[in-house]
């Protein structure tokens, strides 16, 4: 099962490598990983997507919690949550294609953020599924380059992950 684990950790050098190292060392997989400092510069927020059964996920969270740099963590998939991923994609766009692509971008509520006479750069935010669907709508022949940020997430409602 796909899980989104959100981790609050010390913004220290080496902290990220400990998290990543833990996954390779214990044979857990990472589907995606994002990390950046929070409003409190001493803390970083890391969101990672992993796949495993309940037993594996329990071990993942226990071992993450054991890392000295990890302050707190939550499995967002245990409750109602919002997940977002940012996609930047360069697509071939010339002639009649330009309008068609523009329509697809509108349908997926994306934005064209850069233009040349032969291509668009499109930005779309949403769940991973939505981004997959958008890429499929574009068709692989038009796609020149894809960049995805990896999943970020936050719990719904008043629940917050903080120290």
Partner 1 sequence: MELLSGGDMLVRALQDEGVELIFGYPGGSALHIYDAIFRQKGIKHVLVRHEQGATHAADGYARSTGKAGVVLVTSGPGATNAITGIATAYMDSIPMVVISGQVPSDKIGEDAFQETDMVGCSRPIVKHSFLVKNAEEIPEIVKKAFYIASTGRPGPVVIDVPKDVTNPADRFPYRFPEKVRMRSYTPAGKGHSGQIRKAVALLLSAKRPVIYAGGGVVQGGGAELLTELAQRLNYPVTNTLMGLGAYPGSDKRFLGMLGMHGTFEANTAMHHADVILAVGARFDDRVTNTPNKFCPGAKIIHIDVDPASISKTIVADVPIVGTVQSVLGEMLEMLKSSDEQPDQSAIVDWWRQIDDWRERHGIYTAPRYRTDGALIMPQEVIRAVYDITEGDAFVTSDVGQHQMFAAQYYLFDKPRRWINSGGLGTMGFGLPAALGVKIAHPDKEVVCVTGEGSIQMCIQELSTATQYHLPVKILCLNNQALGMVKQWQEMQYEGRLSNSVYEESLPDFVKLAEAYGHLGVKIDRREELHDKLQEAFAIKDRTVFIDVYVDPSEHVYPMQVMPNGSMRDMWLSKTERT
**Least distance in Å: CB of 17 to partner 1?**
7
Whose Cβ is closer to partner 1: residue 40's or residue 129's? 40
Within 10 A of 104 (CB to CB), how many other CB atoms are there?
A: 18
Q: Hey, is 62 helix, strand or coil?
A: helix
Is residue 71 within 8 Å of 11, Cβ to Cβ? no
The residue from 41, 66, 136, 140 that contacts partner 1 (CB under 8 A) is 66
Percentage helix, strand, coil for the chain under 3-state DSSP, each rounded to 5: 30, 40, 30
Does position 62 interact with partner 1 (CB under 8 A)? The reply is yes
Does position 9 interact with partner 1 (CB under 8 A)? The reply is yes
Query: Would you tell me which residues interact with partner 1 (CB under 8 A)?
Result: 9-10, 13-14, 17-18, 21, 25, 55, 58-59, 62-63, 65-66, 68-71, 163
């Amino acid at each position: 099962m796909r899980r989104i684990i959100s981790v609050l950790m010390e913004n220290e050098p080496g902290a990220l490598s400990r998290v990543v190292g833990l996954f390779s060392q214990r044979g857990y997989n990472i589907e995606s990983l994002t990390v950046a400092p929070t409003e409190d510069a001493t803390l970083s927020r890391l969101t990672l997507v992993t796949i495993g059964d309940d037993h594996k996920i329990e071990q993942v969270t226990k071992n993450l919690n054991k890392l000295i740099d990890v302050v707190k963590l939550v499995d967002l998939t245990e409750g109602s949550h919002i997940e977002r991923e940012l996609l930047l994609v360069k697509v071939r766009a010339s002639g009649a294609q330009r309008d068609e692509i523009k329509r697809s971008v509108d349908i997926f509520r994306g934005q064209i953020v850069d233009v040349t006479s032969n291509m668009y750069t499109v930005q779309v935010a949403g769940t991973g599924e939505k981004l997959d669907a958008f890429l499929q709508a574009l068709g692989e022949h038009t796609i020149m380059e894809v960049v995805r940020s990896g999943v970020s997430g936050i719990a719904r409602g008043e629940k917050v992950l903080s120290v």
